[in-house]
Amino acid sequence: MNVLVVGGAGYIGSHAVAMLHAAGHKVVVYDNLSRGHAAAVPDATLVRGDLKDQDLVERTLTDHGIEVVMHFAAFAEVGESVRDPAVYYQNNVVAALSLLEAMRKTDVKKFIFSSTTATYGAPETIPIAETTPQNPINPYGFTKLVIERALADYANAYGFAYAALRYFNAAGASPSGKIGEHHDPESHLIPIVLQVALGQREHITVFGKDYPTADGTCIRDYIHVDDLASAHMAAVEKLQPGKGIQVNLGTGRGTSVREIIDACREVTGHPIPTVIGERRPGDPPELVADARLAKELLGWEARYTDFRDIVSTAWKWHQSHPHGYDS
Ligand code: UDP
């Protein structure tokens, strides 16, 4: 298959690119490298361009005979989306709609969308099934929901075939140790904790320990980035014109912030000092997937079921690339 991976130079996109390559597909990465890294996609054809450049996107689709598009090129920081919603609406909505328009014009109608658990907001019932009402509580989640709704309409009216994959907490790195997570600035829990182990930070601040959970810290469903990538491969096989698939991608298991820090101590052998801080605004206490539908519809489930193994792959990457792709 000829696959266009938009945002393929980013964290999750680059792992999908590597997996598509390994499976023998022809991969073209479209990325403006605003947050991605060319070094993350050493083997792919890289078209450096902006998603809002509809002419360039159209040319890329036709020149490479693209059959399916995977769209990873969104901003994904909740806090940033609250502080600066305009860039989220521009990048996650306007640019995504421009991509869909380029696809419509060139008659490329297979689309895999990186959606998110943030579209559910702060649901009371855990685990979260796909039937949970989608009531996002921040601009990030809302921008993703807008595109999910647009896709349903595009499938209905124009015959698009799509999957909206609602990621829980992406974590870990390729076991090859060659690609991994590199955000600047970093805001995610596991890489920050590992930066403490590397001596790049003094301590990890735990955002609140008075949540209504067993140890008082927030619970998330951490899913290995290669498991996310393999779900994309499975989803492509199930696409049907005029239809959409909406599924959670999680492990179905919840892990607290404290458990993650303990796992990082175990894996790295570093004491990892912690400081208890304030709650981070917009953080729901617990987000864990009901992961059954993805298994039923895609025949897919997460292979990394122990969060310690996820942390180990992340550590391998951080140790060999202490400054990410700038190492
Ligand atoms: N977290 C924390 N300290 C940090 C970064 C994150 O305690 O320096 C917590 C955060 O409050 C959340 C969990 O770790 O409960 C995962 O946060 P992350 O930003 O990695 O992912 P999110 O759940 O926001 O997508």
Going by C-beta distance under 8 Å and a sequence separation of 6 or more, which residues neighbour residue 294?
231, 247, 248, 249, 300, 301
Q: Determine the Cα–Cα distance for residues 296 and 176; give it in Å rounded to an integer.
A: 30
Give me the pLDDT at residue 27, please: 97
Instruction: Name the residue at shortest CA distance from atom 19 of ligand 1.
Output: 188
Instruction: Name the residue at shortest CA distance from atom 15 of ligand 1.
Output: 218
**Position 178 in a domain:** no
- pTM here is 0.97
154 is catalytic: no
- 238 & 200 share domain: no
| Among 223, 206, 248, residue whose Cα is nearest residue 172 | 223
Q: Determine the Cα–Cα distance for residues 195 and 185; give it in Å rounded to an integer.
A: 12
Atom of ligand 1 at shortest distance to CA of 287? 23
Ligand 1 midpoint to CA 57 (Å): 34
- 144 & 266 share domain: no
Give me the pLDDT at residue 266, please: 98
The 10 Å CB-count burial string (b at 16+, else e) for 107-128 is: ebbbbbbbbbbbbbbbbeebbb
Q: Determine the Cα–Cα distance for residues 305 and 62; give it in Å rounded to an integer.
A: 40
Domain CATH number, residue 306: 3.90.25.10
pLDDT beneath 50: ranges in the chain:
none
For 221-258, what is the HEC assignment? Answer: CEEEHHHHHHHHHHHHHHCCCCCEEEEEECCCCCEEHH
**Position 56 in a domain:** yes
Count of domains in the chain? 2
Ligand 1 midpoint to CA 44 (Å): 32
- 132 & 211 share domain: no
Q: 3-class SS at 1?
A: coil
- 104 & 235 share domain: yes
Last residue of one domain, picked from the residues 248, 265, 289: 248
Domain CATH number, residue 234: 3.40.50.720
pLDDT digits (tens, 9 = 90+) for 140-156: 999 999 999 999 999 99
- 115 & 199 share domain: no
- 110 & 237 share domain: yes
Report yes or no: 192 and 219 within 8 Å, Cβ to Cβ: no
Q: Which residues lie across from 31 on neighbouring strands?
A: 48
| Among 100, 143, 124, 171, residue whose Cα is nearest residue 285 | 124
- 70 & 215 share domain: no
Q: Determine the Cα–Cα distance for residues 307 and 250; give it in Å rounded to an integer.
A: 12
Return the best residue to mutate from 192, 207, 276 for the ligand 1 pocket (most ligand atoms within 8 A of CB).
207
- 150 & 205 share domain: no
- 141 & 284 share domain: no
Ligand 1 midpoint to CA 267 (Å): 19
Name the residue range of residue 52's domain.
2-171+222-248
Q: What is the ipTM of this complex?
A: 0.99
Q: What are 302's two structure tokens?
A: 């997460």
- 159 & 261 share domain: no
Give me the pLDDT at residue 281, please: 81
Give me the pLDDT at residue 124, please: 87
- 99 & 193 share domain: no
Ligand 1 midpoint to CA 296 (Å): 30
**Position 31 in a domain:** yes
